[in-house]
Structure 1
């Protein structure tokens, strides 16, 4: 079998927990001891080699919203940026993730069109209406290992309890994107001076923390395995820490942009900074960073949400929330390293092994994962032409960043 030789590359291997410079051979996306049939030799000096990444939250916009992105465009963007396994919430338009029979076709199309392993999170309630539990047994048969109600509200807390009991009986994980809708209402920005001065409807941090506290009590009562995605508040980190110390089966992730960006970017009604949950205060950012460093927050996801240019043209509160994130994911991760928050191998774990553990798919990931060659010192400008995603909606546009994927090696 033909192989690729990479000389003097820094190999960051979270499975073996090793960080060393060596010469490696890659065949069919796997490291091999040696090879006599080398098709290409790459000078790896100054470069990093790490496993392909696992993203716990990304919206690829298909089916139903192809004006923003498709499985082909977003799959390619993910793969070219070193992300091979992508989890997507169950809120496509129309919603198909409450029907196990339709999910297999979506997974096949993602591999055929975009070359990625799509992991579909099933709907927690029928049509995400929040009234009746979805057919979770059928979803599990269709390949779902987790369910969520995404950002949709539940009719009442009794529905939540019944769905948690149902999921626990099937040994399925429940994913919460915690927000108390009675508190958040129609808000679009973090509750603080900047939003208040601009007259924007606000989402208090309390909307997230109240929801997390309530769900944690239900999790403790039902014994279900739960994951809290897209944390945005410093107080949320403390709640997750307490839950873990109590022995609850709970994990959490944070979007990469929440570790770098704050509410200050919304000043001047900058719609490119409109995301949900909203960008929070500097103090929240620092506490989220500490949560990652301490391991309270298990993983970092992209929260990739590509949008067409017209989706950001209305007044701030009327624009669609979302940031395109595949293309800047590695650069922002390397920024965390350069700023001294994480060591390189620590960062690699938060985007590879840790999310695979959260999703209970370590064995499958190790079988399917390839390798990613990165230049951590390559400086480039975030621009509409450099972004591979169909969506160009990022507040980082025209900024210089450092670190980029050079090549993804996979089967």
Structure 2
């Protein structure tokens, strides 16, 4: 029989983490080892010197759920959880985390998915506070006040297995999308070689020699001008060379003169000129647009000559080779860095034959078609997972 009980009734008292001192006695998991999908990333685990007594008291057991209780950000509240299932090695967990260990009669994966869904639906936002710049989860209050619908153990196992399968499906779709991204990069290197070494001995030119128009800084408008009018491209609207969702751009009131100066067109490239060093210089290829669209002041618009195919150009601009040139020219200020128009003109890039660039663009077009299908599949698997998560816990 399903019953509603408090979370605190089905778990042991939370175990707080340890940090210790520098050393190599035991591996310690931090919130940086958390992924947002509930998995542990063990690629960068620190080791710390912690007394043997505490290791024995607090070492993790398979089936433990580690919860992030300090850290977070305005866009990523604390309360993330990961499931621990490593059986062959000792691990502890840092003082920014705690362990939630289910009591007998509670299936660990069932409890994990409940806590995962709670955070996904931002229930942990109600239990946050901020001290000395750090966001903290009021873990004890969260445990005492959170209700859980808990069915008999066989039903818990069934629900957990169902969610595991739905999660595996969405993870498979994400991995497939990553595969296509990696395939595109492999094709680039196979056809053009590493631009750092230029082993194919392509002609190298300053980017300025290849520019037909620009670079031109974008339109600045105060926040009061936003809300309606003409769509405007902002730096949060593109990633990895592509516009993320052209249909969801913000809109801004603009004069006819501004429209004439700051429009972007298909096959233009925009380059971010002001940002943190890690995102400085990111660029995007403009796709076909349904209506006139502007670009914002923290980026520059560039139109290239026909000797450069737009698809090849966006790949070379997003390469590590050009990224290093960007960082070498960056002007650093408090919390941000910048590049200017002359910096962009000075970038050196290899210029392969146009016919080879066109061949590359054709292959990338086919890969992008496959990615469109995968994204649709991803949307469906994400929606399925979300529905099952809600239905499983009385949402």
**TM-score w.r.t. structure 2 length?**
0.25
Higher helix share: 2
Could you say which structure has the larger radius of gyration?
Answer: 2
Asked which structure has the greater RCO (Cα within 8 Å, sep 6+), the reply is 1
